[in-house]
Amino acid sequence: MDGKYYVGVDVGGTHVRIGMTDGGGRLSAVKKVPRREALPDEDPAALAGFIAAYLAAEGAKAAAAGVGIPGTLDRSREKTLKVPNLPCLDGLPYAGMLSERLGIPVYTENDTVMLLTGDLARPGTDCRGITVGIYVGTGLGSAVFLDGRPLRGKNGLNELGHMPLPGRREKCGCGNVGCAENYVSGRRLEALRREKYPDVHISDLFTALRGSEELEEYVDTLGCVIAAVYNLLDPDRVILSGGVPAMKDFPLAELRESVRAHTMKPQPSESAELLFFGEGGDSGVLGAALFAKNALGGR
């Protein structure tokens, strides 16, 4: 295969996913490997060798690569700031390091931006106006796009998961206390299971939690966090995705009701439409590849 391919890489704490697209939005040759195999702690730039080996195995040449990082980057997106689950990436000029070894432009971005890029590439998805992506997996991530492009603040951050909740004191991985992510995430569910439902498998936890105070609190906390987004930005759409809302018996109807209850009346409450995009799958890989294509094209 020769021509204009774009590689997408989704870096997670335990796995790295890689795939490519010809730019038309179709993802091919997706592979998932243990993270240490592709990105060893002692040599993070070895990810370039992993990407090169992947391209060689596929017989493909790439014009650029996009890499989704599960942490914060500076406003230029060339330097990582803090990557809580992968401290070996903290403070690195990572895009440049990879690009130098790989010999093609490499663009790094927060993984939620890559996810929303992939989600908005779905056929029929409108990206005009303000779109917010909320991703509930191990943690709670977010991204905000304006007319299909990431909205950048002073430091390029968008961290809804670290919205402080009054009265909550649990210490967060970011160093603060009471962050929303500690109360509405997969990590919180796992802690709840260990503490109160040790005999229940995590995939059955929402079934076991039905009608419980814990579930009510979980849904209402997530509802308040999402309502804050609606009240602040009055977005055209909010997309919810990730492993947690895709779990069996996730109370989506109750969550939508909670969002409506906590948003301003009559608007945005009446028009608040929380779109559910499923588990997410390879959205992050596709998004990273399309992000590289857009960045190379000067978008």
Closest separation between CB of residue 157 and Zn ion, Å?
Answer: 12
Nearest to 56 by CA among 108, 5, 109: 5
Does 172 bind Zn ion (CB under 5 A)? Our answer is yes
Closest separation between CB of residue 1 and Zn ion, Å?
Answer: 43
- Cβ-based nearer residue to Zn ion, 83 or 127: 83
- Cβ-based nearer residue to Zn ion, 136 or 179: 179
Interacting residues of 290 by C-beta distance below 8 A, sequence separation 6+: 6, 8, 21, 23, 25, 66, 117, 118, 121
Per CB under 5 A, the list member of 35, 162, 237, 293 interacting with Zn ion is: 162
The structure tokens 């799958």 sit at 281
- Cβ-based nearer residue to Zn ion, 89 or 289: 89
Angle (deg, nearest 10), helices 47-58 and 94-102 = 40
Q: Specify the stretch interacting with Zn ion by CB under 5 A; choose among 47-55, 57-65, 170-178, 243-251.
A: 170-178
Question: Residue 278 has which token pair?
Answer: 């499923």
The structure tokens 């992947």 sit at 54
Does 174 bind Zn ion (CB under 5 A)? Our answer is yes
Does 179 bind Zn ion (CB under 5 A)? Our answer is yes
Closest separation between CB of residue 162 and Zn ion, Å?
Answer: 4
Closest separation between CB of residue 180 and Zn ion, Å?
Answer: 8
Q: How far is CA 291 from the centre of its chain?
A: 14
Q: Specify the stretch interacting with Zn ion by CB under 5 A; choose among 9-17, 161-169, 189-197, 286-294.
A: 161-169
Closest separation between CB of residue 294 and Zn ion, Å?
Answer: 30
- Cβ-based nearer residue to Zn ion, 180 or 286: 180
Count the residues of the shown chain that bind Zn ion, applying the rule CB under 5 A.
5
CA–CA distance, 242 with 88 (Å, rounded to integer): 25
Which x/- pattern over 121-160 shows residues binding Zn ion (rule: CB under 5 A)?
Answer: ----------------------------------------
Q: Specify the stretch interacting with Zn ion by CB under 5 A; choose among 13-21, 88-96, 167-175, 197-205.
A: 167-175
Residues near Zn ion (CB under 5 A):
162, 172, 174, 176, 179
